Amino acid sequence: MRFFIDLRRSLREAMVVFRRNGLVSLGCIVISTVALFSFSVILLMAVYVRFGTISIGDRLNVTAFLEATLTHEEVNTILVRIRHLPETKDAVYVSPEEALRELKSKFHDLEIDASPIPPSVRITPGDTAYVPVLIAQLTELEGVSSVTDITEAASNFFGIVQIGTILGIALLLIFFAGFLFIVSASTGISIYSFRREIEIMQLVGASRTFVQNPFIILGSLYGLIGALLSSLFLIPSYQRIDNFYHAFIAFDPIPLDEYNILSRIILLALLVGLATGWISAKQSVRRYLK
Amino acid sequence: MKKGFEAKNSSILIAKDLVKTYPPYQKAVNRISFSVEKGEFVFIVGKSGAGKTTLFRLLSKQEEADSGQIFINGNDITRIPPKRGYLVRRELGVVYQDFKLIHYKTVYENISYALEVQSVPDRKIRKKVDEVLQVVELSHKRKALPLTLSGGEQQRVAIARALVNRPLILFADEPTGNLDWDTSWEILKLFMAINCQGTTIVMATHNEKLLQLMKLRTIVLEQGKKTDEIFY
């Protein structure tokens, strides 16, 4: 009962402070919106870049050419062994006839009837970092005559992905720290204008929790409204980024729609906005409680 | 007239050897001891910087003493952790020279706030606030904002807020400091009426004229020390 009485009073007090601090409240919401929108866009871009690299990485296949004299059973045994390698994500057998069809589809004026390409297994590595190990293991397999060496391409790609990942994380952290600082500062300004009232509240016997609660609700409200507004702006940005991505990477094997990227980022933005508002308000009001 | 410190069992407030030093070495309160009986009206006098406000802040647990003890109704409040100081303040009423009213709250809301912080239900709050508004004769101004009131009226609101909890002791730190003589006298009469109903009052003032008129027990402070105690 006491809890509900206090909660109702804290909510009412938070609304009073929100209204009385009209301009500062508006400023806090705008700042939260801009900061959360920037954070969400950077996060969205980071997600698409990550998917892009995975998608490109998937096309870095290793081909193991088999000896032409192998029986059907022997080919099957090799295929099973390759599929069981821990570095293998997927392995597909390509017969000489299929290889010829692919070749003809790329070079239309090619006039040959017998396939010059031996039977092969096309392997997708679990990660581009596994390529050197995978090639070494394939080379040692009995019945494998040669393996296409894409180690250099893979290591270059792996390097780019690593740099991209580090840069992405650094950028996200910088943005997040900036966001925290800006939201804390603006919430702090809002609470600063109530420092006298905070002192009076304590003088009449209000507990720390009772004094803090309205301001924590206020901070959370700033964060929540900021997150909702930033989500509204994020929807058109998402569509643009998504269109650009699909124009850039055609025939993407990753079913992006299944990941609900937008709704996940919106949910994250709401949580981040709420938590940041909460924490920054708690920190700011603590200063005046000492 | 007699002098000296003598704490009795019926004392509602006992201060023993209170010391408070502000950095670097300024002793704002220096080994002050005194006691106040239940229902008593005591003045604390002294010039600016004598230590009156610091003493009040120690007595109402707004600050912690470096050493010494404070007993309120037999409980040593110096042993209560500062974080729980609000529990002590709920048992006391404090009135300040600058009223310390929340400007965006109405007279009613300012008074009721002292009860709201204790999770008192609205129905009880209404009853108590109405009673106390009658005591300070401000029932007709319940919806007014403090800044629309005169200085005397604002101080009466502050007194009502201090009284609404039925405090064990009412501390008043220069409550007439910002008021003209007539208004000061009105406020003092109000304090007298409250005291007559049994509330213990400890009031700081440097208004000599009031002291001469009242002729009540007076503790004199100078440079943080108790230099005299006058009993009429």
Is B101's Cβ below 8 Å from some Cβ in A? yes
Neighbouring residues of B187: CB distance < 8 A, sequence distance ≥ 6: B152, B155, B156, B159, B175, B176, B179
Alpha-carbon span A236 to A242, nearest angstrom = 10
Q: Which residues of A touch B165 (CB under 8 A)?
A: 205
Q: In the predicted model, what is the mean pLDDT of residues A155-176?
A: 77
**Tens digits of per-residue pLDDT, B132-189?**
999 999 999 999 999 999 999 999 999 999 999 899 999 999 998 888 888 899 899 9
Per DSSP, helices labelled H in chain A are: 2-20, 22-58, 72-83, 96-106, 131-140, 151-192, 195-203, 208-248, 261-289
Domain ranges of chain A: 2-56+157-289, 61-149
CB contact under 8 A, B119 and A206: no
Assigned token pair, A133: 């190990």
Q: What pLDDT is stored for residue B129 in this prediction? A: 95
Confidence tier at B1 by pLDDT (50, 70, 90):
very low
Which residue of chain A comes nearest to B112, CA vs CA?
A: A204
Pick from A2, A197, A207: CB nearest B86:
A207
Q: In the predicted model, what is the mean pLDDT of residues A122-129?
A: 83
Alpha-carbon span B116 to B121, nearest angstrom = 8
Query: Does the pLDDT of residue A115 top 60, yes or no?
Result: yes
| β strands within B60-137, DSSP E | 67-72, 75-76, 92-96
CB contact under 8 A, B161 and A204: yes
Other CB atoms within a 10 A radius of the CB of residue B59 amount to 25
- CATH class of segment(s) A61-149: alpha beta
**DSSP for B17-39, written as a single string:** EEEEEETTTEEEEEEEEEEEETT
Q: What pLDDT is stored for residue B8 in this prediction? A: 56
Q: What pLDDT is stored for residue B36 in this prediction? A: 95
CATH no. for B11-91+167-230? 3.40.50.300
A245 to chain B, minimum CA–CA distance in Å? 54
Alpha-carbon span B174 to B188, nearest angstrom = 11
ipTM of the complex in this document? 0.84
Confidence tier at B4 by pLDDT (50, 70, 90):
very low
Query: Does the pLDDT of residue A197 top 90, yes or no?
Result: no
What percentage of chain A exceeds 70 in pLDDT?
A: 93
B93 to chain A, minimum CA–CA distance in Å? 8
Pick from B90, B104, B165: CB nearest A20:
B104
A200 to chain B, minimum CA–CA distance in Å? 6
Q: How many CA atoms lie within 13 A of B224 on its CB side?
A: 16
**Tens digits of per-residue pLDDT, B177-208?**
888 888 899 899 999 999 999 999 999 988 88
What percentage of chain A exceeds 90 in pLDDT?
A: 8
CB contact under 8 A, B117 and A201: yes
Other CB atoms within a 10 A radius of the CB of residue A160 amount to 13
Q: What pLDDT is stored for residue A151 in this prediction? A: 67
**Tens digits of per-residue pLDDT, A48-105?**
877 777 777 666 788 889 888 888 888 899 999 999 999 888 888 988 888 888 777 7
Is B116's Cβ below 8 Å from some Cβ in A? yes
Q: Do B153 and B141 meet the contact criterion of CB atoms below 8 Å apart?
A: yes
Q: What pLDDT is stored for residue A249 in this prediction? A: 67
CB contact under 8 A, B89 and A199: no
Assigned token pair, B114: 């002292």
Q: Which residues of B touch A202 (CB under 8 A)?
A: 86, 89
Q: Do B108 and B142 meet the contact criterion of CB atoms below 8 Å apart?
A: yes
Q: Which residue from A62, A211, A191, A73 is spatially nearest to A136, judged by alpha carbons? A: A62
Q: What pLDDT is stored for residue A255 in this prediction? A: 63
- Per mean pLDDT, which range of A154-163, A221-230, B97-106 is the poorest? A154-163
Q: Which residue from B225, B219, B226 is spatially nearest to B205, judged by alpha carbons? A: B219
**A120 vs A111 pLDDT, higher one:** A120
Q: In the predicted model, what is the mean pLDDT of residues A225-247?
A: 87
Which residue of chain A comes nearest to B103, CA vs CA?
A: A197
- Between strands B67-72 and B11-22, the pairing is antiparallel
Is B118's Cβ below 8 Å from some Cβ in A? yes
CB contact under 8 A, A199 and B100: yes
Neighbouring residues of B93: CB distance < 8 A, sequence distance ≥ 6: B161, B162, B163, B165, B167, B169, B170, B171, B199
Q: Do B175 and B101 meet the contact criterion of CB atoms below 8 Å apart?
A: no
Q: What pLDDT is stored for residue B5 in this prediction? A: 45
Which residue of chain A comes nearest to B158, CA vs CA?
A: A204
**Tens digits of per-residue pLDDT, B18-57?**
999 998 888 899 999 999 999 999 999 998 888 999 999 9
Query: Does the pLDDT of residue A248 top 60, yes or no?
Result: yes
Is B95's Cβ below 8 Å from some Cβ in A? no
- Per mean pLDDT, which range of A147-156, A213-222, A259-268, B149-158 is the poorest? A147-156
Query: Does the pLDDT of residue A252 top 60, yes or no?
Result: no
Alpha-carbon span B16 to A67, nearest angstrom = 102
Pick from B89, B102, B104: CB nearest A205:
B89
Average pLDDT, chain A: 83
Domain ranges of chain B: 11-91+167-230
Q: In the predicted model, what is the mean pLDDT of residues A184-198?
A: 81
CB contact under 8 A, A204 and B83: no
